[in-house]
Amino acid sequence: MANNNKILHIVGARPNFIKAAPLIKALKNQPNPCEQLLIHTGQHFDSNMSGIFFNELNLPMPDINLEVSGGNGLQQLSEMLIRIEKPITEFKPDSIIVYGDTNSTLAGALAGSKLSIPVAHVEAGLRSRDYTMPEEINRIITDNISSYLFTPSEDANSNLTDENIKKDHIYFVGNIMIDTLISSMKKIDQSLILQNLNLQSQGSEKIIPYNILTLHRPSNVDDDESLATLLGAVSNLPPLNPIIFPVHPRAEGRIRSITKNINSNNMICIQPLGYIDFLCLLKNANAVITDSGGIQEETTYLKTTCITLRSTTERPITVSKGTNTLINPNEPGLTELIRDAIDAAHSKDSVIPDLWDGKTSQRIVDILLK
């Protein structure tokens, strides 16, 4: 294991930023802080997908931006690997820390492995068993070439041991995304997004019931006919509450065109939101309908009903203990399935999983610097 006097963080997408922020802060606040370098691959480049997160999370601006964006997954990955070698060899880190399951995660892990630098994977061990998901491949490869595997839940530990990964490389530390959520709660409660979207009158505590929809996975948004069916099913949910839909940049034009043609008067398409405003919406929603991974965890902590439009999840603890329900978006009668799932979830006795307590980053620091 490394001495970890010099640590390099690699991020590229908003889930990475949420996970990196508390760990960078915790390392900085040590009595003898190590030297840290933050590399942004550029994978998310839109201001609402990237820049605003650095401001809201008090995350230091990247020391280096590789400016890799656009192209397909393989093109992104290869360009990241080409551009990432120089800053790594110049900084000479004792460890490289990568987060989650993005292309930036895999690029950082591969670079560290090839350069014989120990890699620490934050959010290791998650498995969906859906090998059509690029994220699943990223997770498996990253875990198998990492020296420190920091897991968010005990089922993740089991996944890693089943893959014959050495037990002394696996550390159950809890969910680092919840560190960020807990530390941001005061700002979340002060957000004005509900008033800005006319869901709450100024000075009033009453909130108009609303649902949230988020979609970004290719399986849900790349086929116009399937997407129109899905949007129509969600927009018809009784009692026709407003549906707040932050539209991912990759699908904005197509989605706006489709919603105009399916008479979805209750669907409110908005630009992607910053972390604080979006978490305020999650906290106060009647239900969240999504295909995201991290949202399953955030809604579980917030005790907000979550319907995940996927047949599998890499976060099964959000189903077994939390507020999440899986629904295959290709099932017939989707509106009724979602409605029934929301009704059932509202009476479900959910619990917050172990070590989702806001102290994960400090546990990681203790292991890295011991």
> pTM for the full model?
0.94
Residue 260 has pLDDT above 90, yes or no: no
Answer yes or no: 121 catalytic: no
Does 237 fall in a domain?
A: yes
Question: What's the order of all strands across the beta sheet hosting 6-11?
Answer: 64-65, 35-40, 6-11, 95-99, 119-122, 148-151, 170-172
Q: Which of 93-97, 224-228, 312-316, 365-369 has the lowest mean pLDDT?
A: 224-228
At 43-92, the pLDDT tens digits run 876 655 567 888 899 999 999 999 998 788 899 999 999 999 999 999 99
Beta-bridged to residue 184, according to DSSP, are none
In the numeric block, the tokens 């480049």 are attached to: 45
Q: Do residues 79 and 47 both lie within one domain?
A: yes
Q: What is the CATH number of the domain that holds 134?
A: 3.40.50.2000
- Please, which pLDDT band fits residue 252 given cuts at 50, 70 and 90? confident
**Greater pLDDT, 133 or 259:** 133
Calpha distance 314→199 (Å, rounded):
33
pLDDT higher for 48 or 275? 275
Question: Do 360 and 342 lie in a common domain?
Answer: no
The model's confidence at residue 98, banded by pLDDT at 50, 70 and 90, is very high
**Crossing angle, helix 252-261 and helix 224-235, to 10 degrees?**
60
Do 213 and 129 reside in the same domain of the chain? no
Residues 340 and 359 in one domain: no
179 found inside a domain:
no
**Is 70 exceeded by the pLDDT of residue 2?**
no
Say whether both 143 and 250 belong to one domain. no
Residue 258 lies in a domain: yes
Tell me whether residue 123 is in a domain: yes
Same domain, 164 and 299: no
Q: Helix, strand or coil for residue 140?
A: helix
* Residues 163 and 275 occupy one common structural domain: no
Range of the domain at 266: 186-346
Within this chain, do residues 166 and 192 fall inside the same structural domain, yes or no?
Answer: no
For residues 334-341, average pLDDT: 97
Task: Please report whether residue 180 resides in a domain.
Answer: no
* Encoded tokens for 258: 């489709």
Residues 151 and 206 in one domain: no
Q: What is the mean pLDDT of residues 207-221?
A: 91
What residues contact 1, with CB distance under 8 A and at least 6 apart?
118, 147, 148
- Catalytic one of 9, 40, 121, 216: 216
Q: Are residues 192 and 315 in the same domain?
A: yes
pLDDT given for residue 1 in this prediction: 44
Residue 260 falls inside a structural domain? yes
* All residues at 6 or more sequence positions from 103 whose CB lies less than 8 Å from its CB, including other chains: 12, 41, 43, 73, 76, 77, 80, 134, 138
- Straight-line distance from the first to the last Cα atom of the chain, in angstroms, rounded to the nearest whole number: 11
Query: Does 110 map to a domain?
Result: yes
Number of domains comprising the chain? 2
Same domain, 285 and 143: no
Clarify whether residues 126 and 212 are in a common domain.
Answer: no
Structure tokens at 261: 């043609």
Q: How long, in residues, is the chain?
A: 370
Q: Is residue 301 part of a domain?
A: yes
What is the structure's pLDDT at 265?
Answer: 82
